[in-house]
């Protein structure tokens, strides 16, 4: 049913003989609210844009596990540790679901993983920064997952079937991440002076990446118009940012948290929008191109983990082919 071979799909580029006719049928389907399935005709650019988006999304889930994974051994209680392990496990699983969804568009998983490790493929700006304290883990789990849910809930209603179905399942699990993150932040906010300061410090450090999370402002975003026309994206970056702020900034203020003053956050009652100092989008682009504080370290961890898992992939392939299954490298080492 699902093939990587997309050669049979013709007339999918502007200028091809049947392109205009197929495109108008395709766009009529989109405007009816029809979902697009892997074997359907779709414009070449629709396919490429979706591959790009889902690939970046999958990479972000995988890289998102890294800052939090670092803190598993340092969790302050067994309950927090169990929940954090569960969350990290979920995030990696989301990555797998999303790689699968991107595969249905014709891009092999190995290629996507190689492009991540080599630094060619992007991942979310927020995971280019280090988690410096336990409070960072709490802020990531609450606010960054909240921002992600705003984006993912919207994308779940998008026009591509496999991506939407994967996102519905992902959003269900993210609801636990978000609630647990909120619970952790409440604990710190109602704790000792030291804990409250630690939380405020984390918010101070993370507010900039969070404000950048939904991507460049509508004035600068170059993909949005096409993505919205084809029902891949249903709201603009700024609309998503506003939704996030409307929903979560009051909750933060309720916990006694303060937004760093340089942002000049101000709510306009009349328009129900938050005003703020526009983020430096050239800095955002610089970071997502792999120049963030821990970008190199993240990819090195990922590369090492991919290498260490190679024997498992080889063993599975050997077993499936009925060949002798190789032992893990450590088994040889232990034999002396």
Partner 1 sequence: MTQTPEQVWEVFHQSARGEPHVHVGSVHATDADTAVLMAKEQFARRLACVNIWVVPSDAITETPYEDADMFEHGTDKSYREAFGYETTKRAKAVGDAAEL
Q: Does 154 bind partner 1 (CB under 8 A)?
A: no
Least distance between partner 1 and beta carbon 171 (Å): 11
Q: Which stretch binds partner 1 (CB under 8 A): 65-73, 101-109, 123-131, 247-255?
A: 247-255
Q: Considering CB under 8 A, how many residues would be counted as binding partner 1?
A: 28
Judged by CB, which is closer to partner 1: 99, or 160? 160
Least distance between partner 1 and beta carbon 138 (Å): 12
Judged by CB, which is closer to partner 1: 122, or 180? 180
Judged by CB, which is closer to partner 1: 35, or 109? 35
- By CB under 8 A, name the one of 19, 41, 44, 176 that touches partner 1: 176
Residue 194 dihedral angles phi and psi, to the nearest 5°: -60, -45
Least distance between partner 1 and beta carbon 310 (Å): 27
Q: How many other C-beta atoms are found inside a 10 Å radius of the C-beta of residue 55? A: 23
Q: Does 256 bind partner 1 (CB under 8 A)?
A: yes
- By CB under 8 A, name the one of 70, 96, 133, 179 that touches partner 1: 179
Judged by CB, which is closer to partner 1: 227, or 299? 227
SS (H, E, C) the chain: CCCCCCCCCCCCCCCCCCHHHHHHHHHHHHHHCCCECCCCCCCHHHHHHHHHHHHHHHHHHHHHHHHHHCCHHHCCCHHHHHHHHHHHHHHHHHHHHHHHHHHCCCCCHHHHHHHHHCCCCCCCHHHHCCCCCHHHHHHHHHHHHHHHHHHHHHHHCCCEHHHHHHHHHHHHHHHHHHHHHHHHHHHHHCCCHHHHHHHHHHHHHHHHHHHHCCCCCCCCCCCHHHHHHCCCCCCCHHHHHHHHHHHHHHHHHHCCCCCCHHHCCEEECCCCEEECCCCCHHHHHHHHHHHCCCHHHHHHHHHHHHHHCHHHHHHHHHHHCCCCCCCCHHHHHHHC
Residues 204-243 contacting partner 1, CB under 8 A: none
Q: Does 255 bind partner 1 (CB under 8 A)?
A: yes
**Dihedral (C-alpha) 276, 136, 53, 39: value to the nearest 10 degrees?**
-130
Residues 74-93 contacting partner 1, CB under 8 A: 79, 82-83, 86-87, 90
- By CB under 8 A, name the one of 52, 109, 196, 251 that touches partner 1: 251
Judged by CB, which is closer to partner 1: 1, or 333? 1
Site string for partner 1, 32-61 (x = CB under 8 A): --xxxx------------------------
Least distance between partner 1 and beta carbon 283 (Å): 33
Residues 272-331 contacting partner 1, CB under 8 A: none
Query: Tokens in use for 174?
Result: 């993210």
Least distance between partner 1 and beta carbon 120 (Å): 31
**Dihedral (C-alpha) 53, 286, 206, 168: value to the nearest 10 degrees?**
0
**Burial label, 211 (beta-carbon count in 10 A; 0-12, 13-18, 19+):** buried
Q: Does 164 bind partner 1 (CB under 8 A)?
A: yes
Q: Which stretch binds partner 1 (CB under 8 A): 159-167, 211-219, 239-247, 289-297?
A: 159-167
Residues 186-205 contacting partner 1, CB under 8 A: 186, 189-190
Residues that bind partner 1 (CB under 8 A): 1, 34-37, 79, 82-83, 86-87, 90, 161, 164-165, 175-176, 178-180, 182-183, 186, 189-190, 251, 254-256
């Amino acid at each position: 049913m699902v093939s990587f071979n997309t050669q049979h799909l013709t007339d999918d580029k502007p200028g091809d003989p049947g392109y205009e006719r197929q495109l108008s049928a395709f766009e009529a389907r989109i405007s009816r609210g029809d979902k697009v399935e892997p074997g359907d005709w779709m414009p070449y650019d629709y396919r490429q844009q979706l591959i790009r988006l889902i690939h970046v999304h999958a990479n972000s889930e995988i890289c998102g596990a890294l800052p939090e994974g670092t803190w598993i051994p340092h969790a302050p209680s067994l309950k927090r540790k169990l929940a954090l392990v569960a969350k990290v496990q979920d995030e990696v699983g989301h990555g797998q679901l999303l790689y699968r969804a991107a595969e249905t568009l014709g891009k092999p998983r190995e290629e996507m993983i190689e492009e991540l490790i080599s630094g060619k493929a992007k991942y979310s700006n927020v995971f280019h920064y280090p988690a410096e304290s336990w409070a960072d883990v709490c802020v990531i789990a609450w606010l960054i997952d909240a921002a992600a849910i705003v984006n993912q809930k919207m994308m779940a209603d998008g026009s591509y079937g496999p991506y939407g179905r994967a996102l519905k399942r992902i959003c269900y699990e993210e609801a636990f991440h978000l609630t647990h993150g909120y619970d952790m932040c409440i604990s710190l906010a109602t704790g000792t002076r030291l804990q409250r300061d630690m939380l405020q410090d984390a918010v101070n450090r993370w507010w900039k990446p969070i404000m950048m999370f939904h991507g460049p402002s509508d004035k600068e975003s170059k993909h949005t118009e096409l993505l919205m026309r084809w029902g891949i994206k249903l709201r603009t970056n700024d609309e998503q940012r506003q939704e996030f702020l409307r929903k979560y900034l009051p909750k933060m203020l309720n916990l006694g948290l303060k937004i760093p003053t340089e942002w000049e956050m101000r709510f306009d009652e009349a328009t129900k929008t938050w005003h703020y100092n526009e983020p430096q989008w050239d800095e955002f682009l610089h970071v997502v191109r792999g120049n963030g504080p821990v970008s190199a370290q993240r990819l090195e961890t990922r590369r090492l983990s991919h290498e260490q898992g190679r024997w498992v992939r080889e063993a599975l392939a050997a077993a499936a082919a009925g060949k002798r299954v190789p032992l893990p490298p450590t088994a040889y080492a232990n034999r002396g």
